[in-house]
Amino acid sequence: MDRTIYREIKATPQVWQVAFLLGAMIVAALATVVYVEHHGHIVTGMTNQIVWGLPHVFAIFLIVAASGALNVASMASVFGKDHAKPLARLSGVLAIALLAGGLAVLVLDLGRPDRLLVAMTTYNFSSIFAWNVILYTGFMAIVAVYLFTQMARGAPALFVGPMGMLAFLWRLALTTGTGSIFGWLVARPGYDAAIMAPLFIAMSFSLGLAVFILVLSALCRLGDRPLGGLLMQKFARLLAIFAAVVLYFTAIQHLTSLYAAEHAGFERFILATGGIYTWLFWVGQVGLGGALPMLLIWHPSTARAPSTPILASLLVVLGGLAQLYVIVIGGQAYPMPLFPGHVVFSGFGDGTVAAYAPRWPELALGLGGVAVALLATGLGAKVLRILPTNLSDANLGSRG
Amino acid sequence: MSCGKSRLRGKGADISRRDFLRSGAAVASATLAPGVTLIAFGGSPAEARASAGNRWGLLIDANRCDAGCSACVTACADENGWAGNGDPATDAQWIRKVTLRNTTTGHETSMPVMCQHCAEPPCVDVCPTGASFKRADGIVLVDKHICIGCRYCMMACPFKARSFVHEPVVNQKTHAPRGQGTVESCTLCVHRVDAGGTPACVEACAATGHGAIIFGDLKDPESEISRRLAEYPSAALRPDLDLNPGVRYSNL
């Protein structure tokens, strides 16, 4: 073969089984939304101290991964990498689907999700949240047009490059906006740092590519399409670099905080005495989510193993969830100061680390968002011609 | 409290504009039953009294605050109908008593903490819909009609002064509407202030004989609060953030 042929995946019993499972997860999530809206957030583990919980960890993961999932399309259109070109369409569809899943979780966790129209029509432009509404919807629209320029019959190819560049710049702005949700919170010692934006961009590169690798291999397996080992190794090597960049930004984040005496307490909490948060940081994020995938991908004994890209991607995903849990929950759990030179006590948890135990409605909603993203991607592959019929190394190699 | 205030948010509301609003509000409001007023648009006549010429604030004297007394908290809960259900983590906390301990000397100070009604409120900055807003007279409120319950204001508030309504609410006060799934906080008893009164916590504290809380107009140099602030040292909580809160503390 000397050219890429895109075909819809066939509706095999296996495909139906996966679709049914994802559909069931979405129904479960919707049922919990009704349950929570009826009884109030009292049935979740969230409180007036841990105001954002597990749903926000999932939502931010999906939103950050969404912009990163566009990496592959950007590699093709912006950076001219030929091996990525056949996968640009899937990259775009996955990016939109992940964003839809993340936003679904975010919206359905609102205290008043019925007021979504208010959020979309009443803006306070000093709020980064309001800007994010525009950045998120704009991202979906731009990637949709970008996909159109790639897929529409007769669409002139000269638009693909500029649209790819626009989508690439927009996704950088989007992730800057997501990181700034935390970076611009001046009150809490765990946030209030400009590095949050570039840290989130680095996380998006890493998490997005990891999710892309997992989804691509799952779709190729489901659709019975050949998938070249060398192609996966190329993606894996890039993933290792991204994972290293995340660790670099994380190190700078904590070293900068350690240098300031006022943040010493928070750093001690996250790095040494924070219990679950310390474990998740060192073992989850740094060990399993950073160092181990890099070792697997770069060590000669495992670099060429067919399972390495999948295993490394899974570890990066788990590390990303751990990192976001530490940022979102750990940042709230650590008490805020009230007056310099004083410790504070009260019946409302002042001066003490806030407890948080996520409950099943939060997990169900978060997993529901993942299911929305995966089902939408699968549906895209079922009805649109986004997945090449042959991604074998020989075929891609013949494309030069 | 929460209706139609958007017209009053600007700092520079002038007299003629307020007069206009007042007259419009009177036309737009229809009394359905004693204590129940349907406000169609334009706000209530009382609300139109919010003026950029005032800045309402509190001065809390920590020396006069009794560690064992929580009259201000009880009065606020009674006045605004937010009595808890026994779980401090999820109950509303419009006002709470805290103890500050000096890390060097060990000296302890008791005092109430509520919304600090900042001049530069982070909750207003971060609110995506503008539901968190500051009136012309400096009172920071939540518009329950457009609050979507995202809780970003709670993430942003340095004082943990805001509460999310976690459970269905019953027996609400007509002057302090609450809503499950929305955020709320101290209103500085805006319904009393607009009627020329003082907040419930101030009254309750005075009734106990402690008199630890003074309410008044920070922009009026002749008011007691302004004179006390000019005469004696005082401090703001989280002074590092430079939010210029309307609530000040003395003898910390």
- Average pLDDT of chain A, as a whole number: 95
Q: Would you state the pLDDT for residue B14?
A: 43
Q: Is residue B41 part of a domain?
A: no
Residue B200 belongs to some domain of the structure: yes
Domain total for chain A? Answer: 1
Taking residues A105-131, report their average pLDDT. 94
How many angstroms separate the CA atoms of A84 and B29, rounded? 64
Does A62 fall in a domain?
Answer: yes
Of the candidates A119, A122, A338, which has its C-beta nearest B98's C-beta? Answer: A338
pLDDT tens digit sequence for A230-286 = 999 999 999 999 999 999 999 999 999 999 888 999 999 999 999 999 999 999 999
pLDDT (0 to 100) of residue A303? 95
- The CATH number that applies at residue B228 is 3.30.70.20
Residue with tokens 């140099």: B221
Residues 124-183 of A with CB under 8 A from B: 124, 126-130, 133, 181
pLDDT at B234 over 90: yes
Q: Look at residue B28 and tell me if it is in a domain.
A: no
Question: Is the confidence at residue A329, as pLDDT, over 50?
Answer: yes
A-chain residues within 8 Å CB-CB of B241?
186-187
The answer to the question of residue B8 being in a domain is no
Each residue of B136-184: pLDDT tens digit?
999 999 999 999 999 999 999 999 999 999 999 988 999 999 999 999 9
Q: Does residue B101 form part of some domain?
A: yes
pLDDT at B79 over 60: yes
Residues 6+ apart with CB under 8 A from B53: B137, B219
Within an 8 Å CB–CB cutoff, is residue A344 touching chain B? yes
pLDDT at residue B30 greater than cutoff 70: no
pLDDT category at B21 given cuts 50, 70, 90 is very low
Give the other-Cβ count within 10 Å of A221's Cβ. Answer: 11
Kindly provide the ipTM of the predicted complex, given to two decimals: 0.94
| Partner-chain residue, chosen from B150, B159, B166, that has the shortest CB–CB distance to A129 | B150
Count of A-B CB contacts under 8 Å: 178
B157 located within any domain: yes
Q: What is the CATH number of the domain that holds A60?
A: 1.20.1630.10
Within a domain: A4: no
| Model pLDDT, residue A289 | 97
A10 touches chain B (CB under 8 A): no
* Structural domain count, chain B: 1
Per-residue model confidence (pLDDT) at position B45: 57
Q: Would you say residue A2 lies in a domain?
A: no
pLDDT tens, position by position, A193-235: 999 999 999 999 999 999 999 999 999 999 999 998 999 999 9
CA A228/CA A171 separation, integer angstroms: 28
Nearest by CB: B104 against A124, A185, A341: A341
Q: Is residue A1 part of a domain?
A: no
Flag whether pLDDT at A400 surpasses 50: no
Asked whether residue A7 is domain-assigned, the answer is no
Give the integer Cα–Cα distance in Å for A298 and A385. Answer: 34
Q: How far is A195 from chain B (nearest CA, A)?
A: 18
For residue B153, being part of any structural domain is answered with yes
Residue A308 belongs to what domain range?
13-398
Question: Is A338 within 8 Å of B93 when comparing Cβ atoms?
Answer: no
Length of chain B: 252
Mutate one of A128, A348, A362 to test the B interface: name it (highest B CB count within 10 A): A348
Nearest Cα of chain A lies from the Cα of B196 at a distance, in angstroms, of 31
Q: Which of B126, B167, B238 sits opposite A129 (nearest CB)?
A: B126
3-class secondary structure for A79-100? CCCHHHHHHHHHHHHHHHHHHH
pLDDT band for A4, please (50, 70, 90 cuts).
Answer: confident
Mark which residues 32-91 of A lie under 8 Å from B by CB.
37, 39-42, 47-49, 51-52
Asked if residue B232 belongs to a domain, the reply is: yes
pLDDT at B48: 64
- C-alpha to C-alpha distance for A187 and A303, rounded to whole angstroms: 45
The confidence score (pLDDT) of residue B19 equals 45
Residue B46 is predicted with a pLDDT of 52
Helix axis angle, A54-69 to A88-108, nearest 10°: 160
CB contact under 8 A, B89 and A48: yes
Residues from chain B contacting residue A332 (CB–CB below 8 Å) = 155
Question: Using the beta-carbon criterion (under 8 Å), do B88 and A347 form an inter-chain contact?
Answer: yes
Query: Per the domain annotation, does A314 fall within a domain?
Result: yes
Residue B22 pLDDT more than 70?
no
Task: Check whether B29 has a pLDDT greater than 70.
Answer: no
Name beta bridge partners: B215. B58
Q: Which domain holds residue B153?
A: 53-250
Nearest CA in chain A to B147: A112
What pLDDT is stored for residue B10 in this prediction?
40
The chain B residue lying nearest A329, using CA atoms, is B155
